[in-house]
Amino acid sequence: MTPRVFSPLVLFLVIAFLIGPFFIIVAASLSGGETLAFPPQGFSLKWVAKVFTVESFRESFAVSMFLAIGGTAMALVLGIPASYALSRYKLPFGETVRTIVSLPIIVPGIIVGLALLRYIVVPFGFNITLALFLAHTALVLPYAVRVVSASLNNLRSDIEEAAVLLGSSRAGAFFRVVMPNIRSGILAAFILGFVTSFNQVPVSLFLSGPGVRTLPIDMLSYMEITYDPSVAALSALLAFMSIGIVFLAERFLGFSRYV
Amino acid sequence: MSDAPFLSLEKLTLAYGDTVAVKDLDLSIRKGELVAFLGPSGCGKTTTMRSIAGLLTPASGRISLDGADITRVSANKRSVGLVFQSYALFPHLSVFENVAFGLRLKKLPASEIETRVTAGLKSVGLSKFAARKPAELSGGQQQRVALARSMVMEPKVLLLDEPLSNLDARLRLEMRTELQRVQKETGVTMIFVTHDQGEALSLADRIVVMLNGAIEQIGTPEDIYNRPVSRFVADFVGFENIFAVEGGKLKAANGPIALSESLPPDTAGFAWRPRMVTLGSGPFQGTVRGASFSGSTREYLLDTPLGAIKAEEDAGLAAHQPGTELTFDLPVAKAARLERFG
Ligand SMILES: Nc1ncnc2c1ncn2[C@@H]1O[C@H](COP(=O)(O)OP(=O)(O)OP(=O)(O)O)[C@@H](O)[C@H]1O
Ligand SMILES: [Mg+2]
How remote is the C-alpha of A111 from its chain's centroid? 18
Are A172 and B92 in contact (CB < 8 Å)?
no
Predicted interface score ipTM higher than 0.85: no
Q: Are B251 and B268 in contact (CB under 8 A)?
A: no
pLDDT of residue B127 exceeding 90, the answer is yes
pLDDT of residue B220 exceeding 90, the answer is yes
pLDDT of residue B234 exceeding 70, the answer is yes
Dihedral, CA of residue B309, residue B315, residue B316 and residue B319, to nearest 10: 60
Q: Looking at the DSSP assignment, which residues form a beta bridge with residue B251?
A: B256
Indicate the top mutation candidate among B25, B41, B45, B47 to test ligand 1's pocket, ranked by most ligand atoms within 8 A of CB: B47
Name the band, by pLDDT with cuts 50, 70 and 90, for residue A122: confident
- Per-residue pLDDT averaged across B105-117, rounded? 95
Name the band, by pLDDT with cuts 50, 70 and 90, for residue A121: confident
Question: Helix (H, G, I), strand (E, B), or coil: what is residue B81?
Answer: strand
Q: Which residues of A touch B84 (CB under 8 A)?
A: 158, 161-162
pLDDT for res B3: 66
CATH T-level fold of B233-338: OB fold (Dihydrolipoamide Acetyltransferase, E2P) (2.40.50)
- Per-residue pLDDT averaged across A160-188, rounded? 93
What is the edge-to-edge ordering of all strands in the sheet holding B255-258? B255-258, B249-252, B241-246, B269-272, B336-338
Tally of residues, chain B = 342
Q: Regarding beta strands B34-38 and B189-194, do their DSSP bridges make them parallel or antiparallel, or are they unpaired?
A: parallel
In chain B, domain spans = 5-228, 233-338
How remote is the C-alpha of A114 from its chain's centroid? 19
pLDDT for res B289: 93
What is the edge-to-edge ordering of all strands in the sheet holding B214-219? B80-83, B157-160, B189-194, B34-38, B206-211, B214-219
Query: What CATH superfamily is the domain B5-228?
Result: P-loop containing nucleotide triphosphate hydrolases (3.40.50.300)
How remote is the C-alpha of B99 from its chain's centroid? 28
What predicted TM-score, i.e. pTM, was given to this entire model?
0.81
Alpha-helical segments (H) within chain A: 3-29, 46-51, 55-66, 72-88, 94-106, 109-116, 122-124, 128-153, 158-165, 170-173, 183-198, 202-207, 215-225, 230-253
Q: Looking at the DSSP assignment, which residues form a beta bridge with residue B12?
A: B25
Q: Which residues of B touch A92 (CB under 8 A)?
A: none
The verdict on B107 touching A (C-beta cutoff 8 Å) is no
pLDDT of residue A40 exceeding 80, the answer is no
CA distance B91 to chain A (A): 7
Q: Are B32 and B1 in contact (CB under 8 A)?
A: yes
What is the edge-to-edge ordering of all strands in the sheet holding B19-30? B19-30, B5-16, B60-65, B68-69
pLDDT for res A256: 65
Q: What is the DSSP string of A11-71?
A: HHHHHHHHHHHHHHHHHHHT--SSS--SS--S--SHHHHHHTT-HHHHHHHHHHHHIIIII
The DSSP letter of residue B18 is T
Cβ-Cβ contacts under 8 Å between A and B: the total is 58
